Amino acid sequence: MKPFIVVADGFDKNLFEDLKNTTEFEVHPSSKITQDELKEMLPKINGLVIRSSTTITKEYLDLAPNLKYVIRAGAGTDNIDKASCQEVGVKVSNTPGANNNSAAEHAVALMMTVLRKTAWAHKTMSNGGWDKSKFTGNELANKKVGILGFGQIGQIVAKRIGGFDPEVQFFDPFQEGSDLSYVSKCDDLKKLFSESDIITIHTPLMDATRGIVNKELLSLMKPNAILINAARGGIVNEEDLFETLKEGKIRGAGFDVFATEPLEENSKLRTLENLVMTPHLGASTEEAQFRVGEMAVHQLKEFFINENLLNEVRV
């Protein structure tokens, strides 16, 4: 019997056609399904490709006795209960690196949006206004930028903003330094927050980083500083963020990720006038979608046809 493959959260159209045309597979004809549809199909699924919209819980695994392989089309796997997967013998992979440039560029876009107040200016223009005097912003040039997490995405951010002649410091216990002349390592997280004009977060969500950006760190930021998070929700304590922004203790923030996604309709964060929000768009470029899809298709073929497991992620 052919492995039954389901793609749950969307896929590049041409790559999905390639997957469906793989004679060794039976592929569900839609590349985007609802969670209710997914639950109905779980008992017969052998291979599952997800993005951020689907969370693989023990409940899902209990409904999927024939599931052998889950691919997270992206880097972060915090939406997969990897411990439960290991218990029942389900292999987990991601597509490392495919989203990196898109995520880094989105962080830079949020920086510029907050600094130059373009989102707010656009809103007033759409409502018929011309409030030029309200939207005096700040330059990125020559600013002190603090990067929390200096893995591949953090390093790309540092490269992308290099033309603005910044002074960049990073905090990351697992990175020793950088080849970029304007980048240095900071061993004190409090120092990073107190000295930077811009803080941008690029660390994964794990036990050690959950809620790491809290009231204490936020209180150390300069009054004119901004905070950017295009990494993972949960790294920043959102209650502390709300209070900090509501009281105007920092200039503003730009967030692409939230502790609960989709963000609740009645979330207090939606009421803030100094917070720019986007609905987890970091990897939402055509280029990134193609790269993650290409890797996922290759990994499915290697696993089910050649019995070769690529990019395994364990607890």
Q: What is the pLDDT of residues 268-278, one digit of tens each?
A: 999 999 999 99
Residue 140: what pLDDT?
Answer: 98
- pTM here is 0.86
User: In the numeric block, which tokens belong to residue 123?
Assistant: 């809103």
Q: Label residue 75 by pLDDT band (50, 70, 90).
A: confident
Is 90 exceeded by the pLDDT of residue 20? yes
Residue 164: what pLDDT?
Answer: 98
Radius of gyration of the chain (CA): 21
Active site residues: 232, 261, 280
Is 90 exceeded by the pLDDT of residue 74? no
Cβ density class 21-56: b for 16+ within 10 Å, e for less: ebeebebbeebebeeeebeebbeebbbbbbbbbbeb
For 219-262, the pLDDT digits (tens) are 999 999 999 999 999 999 999 999 999 999 999 999 999 999 99
Is 90 exceeded by the pLDDT of residue 52? no
For 131-143, the pLDDT digits (tens) are 999 999 999 999 9
- Rounded Cα distance, 147 and 112, in Å: 16
> Who contacts 220 (Cβ-Cβ below 8 Å, separation ≥6)?
190, 193, 194
Q: Label residue 53 by pLDDT band (50, 70, 90).
A: confident
Output the CA torsion sign for 2, 78, 314, 154: positive
The mean predicted confidence, pLDDT, of the chain is 96
> Who contacts 172 (Cβ-Cβ below 8 Å, separation ≥6)?
147, 148, 149, 150, 151, 154, 185, 203
Q: For the CA atoms of 148, 152, 158, 159, what is the dihedral angle to 10 degrees?
A: 180
Categorise residue 74: left if φ over 0, alpha if ψ from -120 to 50, beta otherwise.
left
Mean pLDDT of 58-80: 94
User: In the numeric block, which tokens belong to residue 260?
Assistant: 């609960």
CB atoms within 10 A of CB 132: 9
> Which of the pair, 149 or 51, is modelled with greater confidence?
149
Is 90 exceeded by the pLDDT of residue 35? yes
- Rounded Cα distance, 50 and 292, in Å: 11
Q: Label residue 101 by pLDDT band (50, 70, 90).
A: very high
Is 90 exceeded by the pLDDT of residue 76? no
DSSP state of 268: G
Q: How far is CA 183 from CA 34, 85, 159, 228, in A?
A: 44, 39, 10, 18
Give 235's Cβ-side CA count (13 Å radius).
Answer: 21
Is 90 exceeded by the pLDDT of residue 161? yes
Residue 315: what pLDDT?
Answer: 83
For 105-123, the pLDDT digits (tens) are 999 999 999 999 999 999 9
Residue 168: what pLDDT?
Answer: 98
Residue 16: what pLDDT?
Answer: 94
